[in-house]
Amino acid sequence: MFDVAAATFAWLVTGPHPVCVDGTAIPGLPARPVPLDELGALLLATGCTQATRDATWTYLITRARAEGGTWTMACVGLAMPVLLPVAAQLTHRFRGDRHDIHAAVLTGFLHGLGEAALDRPAILVRLRWAAYRAGYTALREALDAPAPVEDTEFRSTPSHRPGGHPDLVLVTAVRAGVITTDEAALISATRFGDLSLTEAAHARGEHYRTTQQARRRAEQRLARYLTEPANDTDDASAPAPDTGGRGYLRGSGHPVVRLSPTHRLRLRGVTRVSPELAKKFVRPMSPHGPKSGVSARGTRLPARPRRGHSPGPAGHPAPAQEARSCD
């Protein structure tokens, strides 16, 4: 897909009469006809200002909307330094067919040519963002699609689902309704890609602080989704022990010791990071444990019923007996 576009652009700038832009109509360019390949080098130069880039893309998009054909391919060719990194990022670890995602990136860019507002700054950044979102949507659909299985008599094992992609977690979160597709694309482009948050804010038509807060809220929801237990099936689905309503296991005399889900989560995390620090965590302890210190003390048995027992000296009831130590 991109090979064909690059070959077409090369054909536009080859020969004695290459396609040129009118430099006098664009501030910052030489006042003469400027071939497209020279124009691309000028736009990539570090001395080129953002005003010159926006004026150039306004000129190119205006002619592409009016004439199409040659000028549309000119826009695609001049945007190659932006579109190729986007396509490479989205398909970096994708195991399936990459052509559909590349086609989606190019389609998103072409759609942006017809929809981009030319009176706003950072035109190329917004076109790049449109291409990225289209490619990301195609990637998400490809990751969600079932693995194809050919109905032939002799075939190998079905191919594995695409895995190991850095955006796979974001795709799962989108499918679970934790974040939206735009939020996932924003996180992916600004965290894993080379798009800065300032450029993303320009492309979204928002202030920097608004985009920053939108990404922060999405990342907070994503972090809670990834760190909190999905459900406590180990404890909630298990039948509760028969305690007889007293907090003790019936027939054993031992109290039931339960850990809350929060305590278990913290304890697992601290134990994994620092076993020494885990020893300082307060654990619910049974009074019958070897380190509780309770079993070494005597316990008072309840007094026996009065009937059938002789009173103590001077008519007082017999004193309660002290049980022997458990040791």
DSSP per residue, 257-298: ----HHHHHHHHHHHHH-HHHHTTS-----TTSTTSSSTTS-
Q: Out of 211, 230, 249, pick the residue that ends a domain.
A: 230
pLDDT at 243: 43
Pairing state of beta strands 20-22 and 33-35?
Answer: antiparallel
The answer to whether residues 58 and 193 belong to one domain is no
Q: Indicate the burial class of 173 (C-beta count within 10 angstroms; 0-12, 13-18, 19 or more).
A: buried
The answer to whether residues 88 and 222 belong to one domain is yes
The answer to whether residues 45 and 131 belong to one domain is no
The answer to whether residues 46 and 171 belong to one domain is no
Domain contains 139:
yes
Q: What is the pLDDT along the chain (327 residues), one digit of tens a residue?
A: 788 888 999 999 988 889 999 999 999 999 999 999 999 999 999 899 999 999 999 999 999 999 988 999 999 999 999 999 999 888 887 777 888 999 999 999 999 999 999 999 889 999 999 999 999 998 888 887 665 555 545 555 555 444 455 566 777 788 888 888 888 888 888 887 777 888 888 777 788 899 899 999 988 888 888 887 655 444 444 444 444 444 443 444 444 444 445 444 444 443 444 444 344 334 444 555 555 554 555 555 555 655 555 555 555 555 555 545 554
Q: Out of 58, 78, 98, pick the residue that ends a domain.
A: 78
- Dihedral (C-alpha) 293, 298, 302, 303: value to the nearest 10 degrees? -170
Domain total for the chain?
Answer: 2
The answer to whether residues 19 and 127 belong to one domain is no
The answer to whether residues 15 and 107 belong to one domain is no
Domain contains 175:
yes
The answer to whether residues 106 and 207 belong to one domain is yes
pLDDT at 303: 57
Residue 89 domain boundaries: 79-145+165-230
Q: What's the token pair of residue 16?
A: 């004695």
Domain contains 65:
yes
pLDDT at 150: 55
